Chain A
Amino acid sequence: MKKFFLSLALLTGAILFTSCEDDDIQFTEATLDLKFSSTTTDSITISSGEYTFKDVTTGLETKLDAMKSSLSLAEGTYNVTFIGKGSYTVASTDYEVQVDLQGSIQNVVVIGESISLELELIVIEANREGDFVFAELFLAGTLKPDNKQYNGDQYIILHNNSNKVLYADQLILIESKFLTNKKYDYTPNIMKEAMAVHGMFMIPGKGTEHPVNPGENFIICDNAMNHKKEANPNSTDLSTANFEWHSDLSTVDIDNPNVPNLENLYLSAGKFWMASKQGNKAYVIGRLPENMTKESYLEKYKYDYEYELSGKPRPQTAYKFPNEWIVDAVNISPNSTFAWSVLDQSLDLGYTSLGETSSTTENMGKAVIRKKNEEKSAEQGRLILLDKNNSGTDFNASQKASLLAQ
């Protein structure tokens, strides 16, 4: 019996100590290299900057100073961003130009012992001339006192960020065709030259009917009515908005005859447009070139493409809007599920968010609001908004919509 209990004790001991912890996380050494998008700016000297590696699995960010060129990362998929400053000297002069530098790559797969990352930087001159910019996009809608969703109070505020009077006439508001939180390989890929369009709506006017002074805003909304008084006490008064988007479906859309309607140039599905409440599309404003009529645009700029879904090709047709006609652009995506930028990097390097996720309940009443450029505003004595073509840094994400506070 003694032998037996001895054996038993040994067996028990073996069971109790058969395990050892091994932390099974693989790391990869990443070496970094920066290059510039323009060959004329090869002489740029980077003075400061920071890399951000966002692990899309966990949402955790790792920062690295621009002066360092390698780091160790846990294996994973990363969105890599660089934001920095630099300068170059204009050829045959002593004139030094200050520039903002930024670049990003999405869904970088970091595996193996080491990888080499090359980041193309966009160079933005710090003193470029301004134009209209998005000041605020309120897309999520509001909640009624009985906990039901309320629609029709979406609005977009545009701002004259230049130092001269600009005319809103024929400015076009565009919603992207593709979603920022669902990525497919669309072929042909036209991102470098144009964006794919879901809907486009033009401000009426012949050229000088709607002047906007430097530093001032104007509002485009869904239904230009006093929502707060007439329908939902949690909403706001949009009866004095400058423009409204309107469909011919009078049962679901209310037309205020005192507020001009946007002209519907194109809508890829149906006749009724509501901006994405999930906050998972990009929005741009742009203008057709002077010699281009809307009819000739609609005739020439069709975009036939296809993508694969469940192993089958899905041919589609939309419109494309050339990047060079775009005045301002903003990618909006749920923060946690951002999959890709549906705009070329030169238009918007990053993205901003209505909320952490696409939950309409959690994002109710929230907007993205552009930051004030404090330095330039003080210097020029008017409101100048931040515009570095990076909505990730230009905007305050997930803010209470400014007009709801009124």
Chain B
Amino acid sequence: MKHLFMTILSLLLTPSLFAKEEAEIIENKLLNLYAPTIHFNAKIWMNPAIKYDMLNLSISSLSIGGVLQDKDGDSYLVQEGYSDKKIKCNVESFYKLSDTEKIFGSASYTNGRVENMLWNENADFSILYPYVTGDSIGGYMLSEEYYFSGGYVNRFRVWTAGAEFSYRASISYRDKDPRPRNVVSDLKLKIGLSRSISRYRIGASFSARKYKQNSHIAFLADKGSVSVYHMLGFGVDYARFAGDETSTNYAGHELGGSIEFIPENHYGFSLSLGGEFLHITKFLTNLNHAPIADINEKKISLDASWLEKSSELEYGVMLHAEYLKREGTEHILGDPTGNIYPVISEATQFHSPILKTSISGTIGKHIPKNRWGWNIDPHLGYMSIHPSYTSRSRYMKVSSLHTGIKIQSLWQIKKMLVSVYTNVDYTAKLSSDYALHGLNLESSLGKTILSNISYLSDTHTSLSIGSRIDYYINHKNALFLSGEYIHRNYNQSGVASLGEINIGFTF
């Protein structure tokens, strides 16, 4: 994997290193990255055919960074633990091959350590929940992740066609009992098409994804093994296979599509409407790959924005709405014959609808004119989650309102471009309710569920400050240093703080 990573990294850097002389200088390239047309409705650029218009220049960056996190309390999902340390190397490139062709790509390597995971020994909890394999011991999790992506887009007259792929491979493990070893491969492919109509561009994309995770938990200590459980949601487990069924695999796919609508000059009304359907099945490897549960998730999202500019200011408003419905279906297995468990029925027990809506705005003065720019981005949103487990009548219902503002300033100081920002967010619980019938709240599992409910329904404030300084080495290259500090204060679940620093090279 490391050799492949280095090869892809070289390929990403090669076009830029041997780029022909262009009129663009690094200063202008970097200023372009701060433009609201890129950030305000970022979702629209997810279609590779639309991405053609995101930048009309070539830029690449190479960076290395680290994240340190500290917390006091339980302000995290217990099954995910909290990320204590992370180091990441990242290469990104957007390159204009010709007047009609552009390529883009990225490669990254992340090495991290997550602390205090409990009742989950898998990677990618957010993809697999609630069907993870867990135990009451848990602990830290070490992980390495390789990520590559690449895309090509071509414009011919009014049409633009593009394709993009990404591949993520990760291994996560613990070198102490219980010893999970999770190997993930996650491949995505997206194709997009757009057409210019009048002064607008209309696009559509189709995406497909193939996901796989092989997991095994080993116990090497003389003490022996503890029981592992195949969780079904809200503290329920697949009792029939509790104990020593330590090998599992997950396989699934995702299909998606989107349509986009964006002005050719990026100012005016833009819209992105997308939908995705994810299906993953969990298998017990040692029982002839008996399928024990299915995850089905439907997601639909809408991002509609309006962006304008005057001689002095740029301003806009955006509406975001997202509805996600996750359903978990348990397979009922019959009398085994020859260690083969036939599927005799199924029951959809787990339901988790999530609704998110928000309205956000931006107003700012772009930098080139005054050597000083600023923008203010307020937002107001609503979110509700209502996961439930049918037959046990267990559920959680939380709704919250969040509001916040981001203030950013940008200066050109001699050979430097300095960005400073602060972000204040406040999330207020509007309502919360739960029922955990039959769950022993004093047990490890009961405490886990209660801790998660408390965290997800907690009113909290978040404050972040950050800065990025780019130093122009010459007219083609720049060095940058960026840092961010985030502090979150929860009413019940304690405090958490995170510091991130990155150093890199842009060209």
The 8 Å CB contact of A77, one of B269, B344, B348, is B344
The 8 Å CB contact of B336, one of A15, A21, A336, A339, is A339
Q: Do A147 and B347 have beta carbons less than 8 Å apart? A: no
Given A19-B353, A111-B345, A307-B338 in contact, is the A148-B302 Cβ separation under 8 Å?
A: no
Complex Cα distance, B329 from A181, in Å, reads 25
Q: Tell whether B221 is near chain A: CB-to-CB under 8 Å.
A: yes
Complex Cα distance, B243 from A182, in Å, reads 13
Complex Cα distance, B32 from A15, in Å, reads 34
Identify which of B98-106, B199-207, B233-241, B373-381 touches chain A: B233-241
Complex Cα distance, B319 from A181, in Å, reads 56
Q: Do B335 and A362 have beta carbons less than 8 Å apart? A: no
1/0 per residue, CB under 8 A from B, across A183-211: the answer is: 11100000000000000000000000000
Chain B's interface: helix, strand, loop or mixed, by majority?
strand
Q: Do B223 and A361 have beta carbons less than 8 Å apart? A: yes
Given A57-B330, A357-B242, A359-B226 in contact, is the A183-B336 Cβ separation under 8 Å?
A: yes
User: Which residues of chain A are within 8 angstroms of B14 by Cβ–Cβ distance?
Assistant: none
Nearest residue, chain A, Cβ from B275:
A15
Q: Tell whether B56 is near chain A: CB-to-CB under 8 Å.
A: no
Q: Do B321 and A12 have beta carbons less than 8 Å apart? A: yes
Identify which of A22-30, A81-89, A379-387 touches chain B: A22-30
Q: Do A361 and B226 have beta carbons less than 8 Å apart? A: yes
User: Which residues of chain A are within 8 angstroms of B338 by Cβ–Cβ distance?
Assistant: 184-185, 307-309, 311
Complex Cα distance, B346 from A310, in Å, reads 25
1/0 per residue, CB under 8 A from A, across B222-236: the answer is: 111111000000001
User: Which residues of chain A are within 8 angstroms of B90 by Cβ–Cβ distance?
Assistant: none
Complex Cα distance, B223 from A185, in Å, reads 34
Given A75-B345, A359-B244 in contact, is the A148-B332 Cβ separation under 8 Å?
A: no
Q: Do A8 and B390 have beta carbons less than 8 Å apart? A: no
Complex Cα distance, B242 from A339, in Å, reads 12
Q: Tell whether B416 is near chain A: CB-to-CB under 8 Å.
A: no
User: Which residues of chain B are within 8 angstroms of A182 by Cβ–Cβ distance?
Assistant: 339
Q: Tell whether B111 is near chain A: CB-to-CB under 8 Å.
A: no
User: Which residues of chain B are within 8 angstroms of A16 by Cβ–Cβ distance?
Assistant: 321, 323, 355, 357
Q: Do A57 and B323 have beta carbons less than 8 Å apart? A: no
Complex Cα distance, B224 from A15, in Å, reads 51
User: Which residues of chain A are within 8 angstroms of B337 by Cβ–Cβ distance?
Assistant: 183-185, 308
Q: Tell whether B487 is near chain A: CB-to-CB under 8 Å.
A: no
Q: Do A360 and B225 have beta carbons less than 8 Å apart? A: yes
Q: Do B390 and A25 have beta carbons less than 8 Å apart? A: yes
Given A11-B302, A336-B243, A357-B244 in contact, is the A109-B335 Cβ separation under 8 Å?
A: yes
Q: Tell whether B349 is near chain A: CB-to-CB under 8 Å.
A: yes
Q: Do A358 and B302 have beta carbons less than 8 Å apart? A: no
User: Which residues of chain A are within 8 angstroms of B269 by Cβ–Cβ distance?
Assistant: 4
What's the least CB distance linking A156 to chain B, in Å?
A: 21
Nearest residue, chain B, Cβ from A12:
B321
User: Which residues of chain A are within 8 angstroms of B271 by Cβ–Cβ distance?
Assistant: 8
What's the least CB distance linking A372 to chain B, in Å?
A: 29
Nearest residue, chain B, Cβ from A361:
B224
Given A57-B332, A309-B338 in contact, is the A337-B345 Cβ separation under 8 Å?
A: no
User: Which residues of chain A are within 8 angstroms of B325 by Cβ–Cβ distance?
Assistant: 19
Q: Do B345 and A336 have beta carbons less than 8 Å apart? A: no
| Chain A contacts with B in 352-399, Cβ cutoff 8 A | 356-362, 364
Q: Do B241 and A75 have beta carbons less than 8 Å apart? A: no
Q: Do B243 and A77 have beta carbons less than 8 Å apart? A: no
Complex Cα distance, B346 from A77, in Å, reads 11
Complex Cα distance, B221 from A359, in Å, reads 13
Q: Do B339 and A109 have beta carbons less than 8 Å apart? A: no
Q: Tell whether B431 is near chain A: CB-to-CB under 8 Å.
A: no
Q: Tell whether A18 is near chain B: CB-to-CB under 8 Å.
A: yes
Q: Do A74 and B347 have beta carbons less than 8 Å apart? A: yes
| Chain A contacts with B in 114-151, Cβ cutoff 8 A | 143, 147-149
Given A77-B335, A182-B339, A360-B225 in contact, is the A337-B304 Cβ separation under 8 Å?
A: no
| Chain B contacts with A in 22-47, Cβ cutoff 8 A | none
Q: Tell whether B300 is near chain A: CB-to-CB under 8 Å.
A: yes
Complex Cα distance, B240 from A75, in Å, reads 15
Complex Cα distance, B330 from A327, in Å, reads 42
User: Which residues of chain B are within 8 angstroms of A74 by Cβ–Cβ distance?
Assistant: 347, 391
Q: Do A111 and B240 have beta carbons less than 8 Å apart? A: no
The 8 Å CB contact of A149, one of B222, B241, B345, B351, is B222
Complex Cα distance, B196 from A198, in Å, reads 78
Q: Do A360 and B224 have beta carbons less than 8 Å apart? A: yes
Complex Cα distance, B338 from A185, in Å, reads 6
Complex Cα distance, B390 from A23, in Å, reads 7
**How many chain A residues have a CB neighbour from B under 8 Å?**
53
| Chain B contacts with A in 347-384, Cβ cutoff 8 A | 347-349, 351, 353, 355, 357
**How many chain B residues have a CB neighbour from A under 8 Å?**
50
| Chain B contacts with A in 294-346, Cβ cutoff 8 A | 300-302, 304, 319, 321-323, 325, 329-330, 332-339, 344-346
Nearest residue, chain B, Cβ from A359:
B227
Complex Cα distance, B388 from A66, in Å, reads 34
Q: Tell whether A152 is near chain B: CB-to-CB under 8 Å.
A: no
Complex Cα distance, B329 from A309, in Å, reads 28
User: Which residues of chain B are within 8 angstroms of A359 by Cβ–Cβ distance?
Assistant: 224-227, 243-244
Q: Do B319 and A25 have beta carbons less than 8 Å apart? A: no
Complex Cα distance, B345 from A111, in Å, reads 7
User: Which residues of chain A are within 8 angstroms of B323 by Cβ–Cβ distance?
Assistant: 15-16, 18-19
Nearest residue, chain B, Cβ from A9:
B319
Given A11-B302, A16-B355 in contact, is the A356-B227 Cβ separation under 8 Å?
A: yes
Complex Cα distance, B351 from A57, in Å, reads 19
What's the least CB distance linking A85 to chain B, in Å?
A: 30
Q: Do B288 and A337 have beta carbons less than 8 Å apart? A: no
Q: Tell whether A76 is near chain B: CB-to-CB under 8 Å.
A: yes
Nearest residue, chain B, Cβ from A107:
B335
Q: Do A59 and B239 have beta carbons less than 8 Å apart? A: yes
Q: Do A149 and B239 have beta carbons less than 8 Å apart? A: no
The 8 Å CB contact of B243, one of A18, A183, A337, is A337
| Chain A contacts with B in 11-70, Cβ cutoff 8 A | 11-12, 15-16, 18-19, 21-26, 56-59
Q: Tell whether A103 is near chain B: CB-to-CB under 8 Å.
A: no
User: Which residues of chain B are within 8 angstroms of A21 by Cβ–Cβ distance?
Assistant: 351, 353
User: Which residues of chain B are within 8 angstroms of A362 by Cβ–Cβ distance?
Assistant: 226-227
The 8 Å CB contact of A25, one of B223, B334, B348, is B348
Q: Do B321 and A147 have beta carbons less than 8 Å apart? A: no
What's the least CB distance linking A188 to chain B, in Å?
A: 16
What's the least CB distance linking B491 to chain A, in Å?
A: 28
What's the least CB distance linking A401 to chain B, in Å?
A: 17
Q: Do A107 and B334 have beta carbons less than 8 Å apart? A: yes
The 8 Å CB contact of A24, one of B239, B329, B334, is B329
Complex Cα distance, B348 from A360, in Å, reads 33
User: Which residues of chain B are within 8 angstroms of A350 by Cβ–Cβ distance?
Assistant: none
What's the least CB distance linking B182 to chain A, in Å?
A: 21
Q: Tell whether A286 is near chain B: CB-to-CB under 8 Å.
A: no
Given A15-B323, A57-B239, A74-B347 in contact, is the A147-B302 Cβ separation under 8 Å?
A: no
Q: Tell whether A334 is near chain B: CB-to-CB under 8 Å.
A: yes
Q: Could you show 27 A-B contacts with beta carbons less than 8 Å apart? A: A15-B321, A19-B323, A19-B353, A23-B348, A25-B347, A25-B349, A26-B347, A58-B238, A76-B345, A77-B333, A77-B334, A111-B344, A111-B345, A147-B222, A149-B224, A181-B243, A184-B337, A184-B338, A308-B338, A311-B338, A337-B241, A337-B242, A357-B242, A357-B243, A359-B227, A359-B243, A361-B224
Q: B residues engaging A (CB < 8 A)?
A: 221-227, 236, 238-244, 269, 271, 273, 288, 300-302, 304, 319, 321-323, 325, 329-330, 332-339, 344-349, 351, 353, 355, 357, 390-391
Q: A residues engaging B (CB < 8 A)?
A: 4, 8, 11-12, 15-16, 18-19, 21-26, 56-59, 74-77, 106-107, 109, 111, 143, 147-149, 181-185, 278, 307-311, 334, 336-337, 339, 356-362, 364
Further contacts, 9 of them, CB under 8 A, given A76-B344, A147-B222, A184-B337: A15-B302, A57-B239, A58-B238, A75-B344, A77-B334, A107-B335, A337-B242, A358-B244, A360-B224
| A-B residue pairs, 4 tightest by C-beta | A59-B239, A357-B243, A24-B348, A360-B224
